[in-house]
């Protein structure tokens, strides 16, 4: 298998191969972000999709039956580099969070939450909405959303299994985006139903987070490539998905209003026998 095909098999979108450096790339489930990375040295290479992998996968050319001493050393160096990058990302996330102040944000306004306050970081005079990402309550990184709605993660952070949780001690609900989580929370509050909403940041990461819970529901995005629904099905949990391609629950909520959105959500919740 060529290195390009190996990268594609792990969900990376690679237009051209650059040598001897970690290269950020978009992924199939996040084509507008740089949620993947690779490093190619000719006789060995690594790929990592931060949403689905907690460590890089190693590639060798076909026909290689043994790993050379040099390749082993490269792998060890790469693993150390990965760990160092993850530690730096976690440290930077902590630093950023300390720079934030609660405030409104243009992204939240466009998503129907004009008065919602989030963690806002002023970077070069521009307000950046910061969503902390945690694994077992440990801060490992964050999602940064600018005023235009462009999203990115910190370079080198570990994203698999990470989530932002809004916990009111109720039924676990797993979704992809922060705005979707806010829409779900608004519906649950209005319906007087307790919730535990896990924002997972990507469709594939929903599986990694949801597998730790025996119950709950999934709120899937209706992606044009079917990734959202496929991931929801793979959790084995009841799920909601819009009938409109390209729409998530926040889009649906804004389009149909609170009452119809609540009815749609309750039809899925009732499958958990929590109503």
Give the number of C-alpha atoms closer than 13 A to the C-alpha of residue 120, restricted to the C-beta side: 16
The confidence score (pLDDT) of residue 137 equals 92
Give me the residue label for tokens 């999602």: 143
For 135-175, what is each residue's pLDDT tens digit? 999 999 999 999 999 998 998 888 889 999 999 999 999 99
Cα–Cα distance for residue pair 9/12, rounded to 1 Å:
7
Query: In 173-198, which positions are buried (b, 16+ CB within 10 angstroms) versus exposed (e)?
Result: bbbbbbbbbbbbbbbbeeeebebbbb
pLDDT tens, 200-241?
999 989 999 999 998 999 999 999 889 899 999 999 999 999
Q: What is the pLDDT of residue 67?
A: 63
- Asked whether residue 274 carries a pLDDT value surpassing 60, the answer given is no
pLDDT in tens, 174-201: 999 999 999 999 999 999 999 999 999 9
Residue 167 to residue 169: CA distance in whole angstroms: 6
Domains and CATH numbers, the chain: 3-66 (no CATH), 163-275 (3.40.50)
State the pTM of this model: 0.82
- pLDDT tens digits, one per residue of 15-31: 889 998 888 898 887 77
* Average pLDDT rounded to a whole number, residues 90-110: 97
C-alpha dist (Å) from residue 82 to 56, 76, 88, 195: 8, 10, 10, 35
Strand-strand pairing, 126-135 and 118-123: antiparallel
Considering the chain, what percentage of its residues have pLDDT values greater than 70? 95
The per-residue pLDDT for range 40-67, each reduced to its tens digit, is 988 888 898 877 777 788 888 886 656 6
């Amino acid at each position: 298998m060529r290195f390009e095909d190996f990268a594609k098999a792990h969900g990376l979108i690679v237009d051209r191969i650059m040598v001897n450096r970690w290269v950020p790339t978009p992924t199939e489930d996040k084509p507008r972000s740089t949620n993947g990375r690779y490093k190619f040295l000719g006789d060995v290479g690594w790929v990592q999709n931060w949403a689905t992998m907690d460590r890089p996968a190693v590639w060798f050319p076909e026909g290689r039956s043994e790993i050379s001493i040099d390749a082993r050393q490269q792998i060890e160096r790469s693993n150390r580099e990965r760990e160092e990058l993850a530690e730096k990302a976690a440290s930077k996330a902590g630093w950023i969070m300390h720079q934030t102040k609660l405030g409104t944000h243009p992204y939240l306004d466009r998503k129907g939450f004009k008065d919602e306050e989030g963690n806002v970081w002023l970077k070069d005079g521009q307000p950046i909405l910061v969503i902390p990402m945690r694994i077992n309550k440990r801060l490992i990184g964050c999602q940064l959303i600018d005023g235009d709605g462009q999203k990115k993660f910190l370079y080198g952070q570990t994203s698999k299994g990470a989530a932002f949780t809004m916990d009111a001690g109720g039924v676990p609900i797993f979704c992809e985006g922060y705005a979707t989580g806010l829409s779900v929370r608004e519906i649950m509050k209005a319906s007087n139903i307790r919730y535990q909403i896990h924002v997972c940041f990507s469709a594939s990461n929903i599986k990694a987070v949801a597998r730790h819970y025996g119950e709950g529901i999934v709120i899937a995005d209706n992606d044009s490539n079917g990734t959202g629904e496929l991931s929801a099905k793979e959790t084995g949990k009841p799920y909601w998905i819009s009938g409109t391609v390209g729409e998530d629950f926040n889009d649906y909520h804004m389009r149909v209003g609170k009452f119809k959105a609540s009815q749609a959500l309750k039809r899925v919740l009732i499958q958990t026998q929590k109503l």
